[in-house]
Amino acid sequence: MDSFLAKDKVVIVMGATGSGKSRLSIDLALHFNGEIINSDKIQVYKGLDVLTNKVTPAEMQGVPHHLMSIVEPSEDFTTSDFCVHAKEAIALITSRGRIPIIVGGSNSFVEALVDCEEFRARYECCFLWVYVSASVLHAFVRDRVDQMVEAGLVEEVRGMFRPDADYSKGIQRAIGAPEMDEYLRYSVTGEIGDEQKKEAMLHAAIEEIKENTKKLTFSQLEKIDRLRRLPGWNVHCIDATEAFGNRGKPNFRASWEELVVCNATEIVHKFLLGSGGDDDAVVVVPAVNTVVAHPEIAGAAVAAAAAASV
């Protein structure tokens, strides 16, 4: 193929919330001279950095991040808006001779972008799916919510609380904002001194955040499983379950490098060289359909999908 007909390369990292997508995208960006484009429909908004689990400047390790904290909290940011901004960011990154890496949990954003005829004509994509088994992921997500509470989640949501808040718009859609509403209302209007009731309400809100985050992961898994079956979506599944089992242990980073980063780097390297990386790499895809068929998971997935597209 003549060079002027060659398509620019784009790497897309997918996965359920809490699976390590952001960590891997930064690892890849450092290795391949890339820049990251956020595709999380809540992290595009300014504010609630703890609640939405945005990567910190230290975690970014100097890697440029696009479409992060660019929208006012009360504004709407549609799928069409994302496609426009993402294409602009991709064009800017490729013009600098760097690799665009799209990462985020909002798979509806990614699907709309990738299925755009103009995008397909100009870009070639490498899809990576960071997979963590449900039992391991959900235990981690519960612990992460507790860590977010310790990091100031309650105070952060309280700072943006409004009695007339519309939880169907803007950043107020973030998991954690509507769940805290009843507790925060009572904190303002409840009887002074009734600390026991407030503590019980706060505990219930935190448990609801954990449960709704769990439901979101089910819905995300279903969506990725559907996408990987579509024509042109040659999704490479990287099983990070074993590495996640070492979280908090001294060997976690080494385990992550060996089991996740090395595999992902090999796939992307082949892709960038144009040596058939989308077909040659050995890919082990977990039986997601079997997982989703479990009654508890199926019910949670349906509930999450009914609430919002991911």
> What is the pLDDT, as a whole number, of residue 189?
73
Q: What ranges do the domains of the chain cover?
A: 3-137+232-289, 139-209
Termini Cα distance of the chain = 37
| DSSP H or E segment with residue 279 | helix 277-280
> Strand, helix or coil at 80?
helix
In this prediction, residue 230 has a pLDDT band, given cuts at 50, 70 and 90, of very high
Q: What is the pLDDT of residues 243-269, one digit of tens each?
A: 988 888 888 899 999 999 999 999 999
Confidence band of 190 (pLDDT split at 50, 70, 90) = low
pLDDT of residue 301: 38
Per-residue pLDDT of 67-125, as tens digits, reads 999 999 999 999 999 999 999 999 999 999 999 999 998 999 999 999 999 999 999 99
- The DSSP result for 114-177, as a single string, is HT-HHHHHHEEEEEEEEE--HHHHHHHHHHHHHHHHHTTHHHHHHHH--TT--TTSGGGGSTTT
Entry pTM:
0.87
Residue 9, beta-bridge partner list: 124
Q: Residue 284: what pLDDT?
A: 43
The pLDDT assigned to 52 comes to: 95
- pLDDT greater than 60 at residue 3: no
What Rg value do the Cα atoms of the chain yield, rounded?
20
pLDDT-derived band at 193, boundaries 50, 70, 90: low
The answer as to CATH 3.40.50.720 being correct for domain 3-137+232-289 is: no
The CATH code belonging to domain 139-209 is 1.10.287.890
Tell me what the mean pLDDT of segment 273-288 comes to.
Answer: 50
CB 167 within 8 A of CB 173: yes
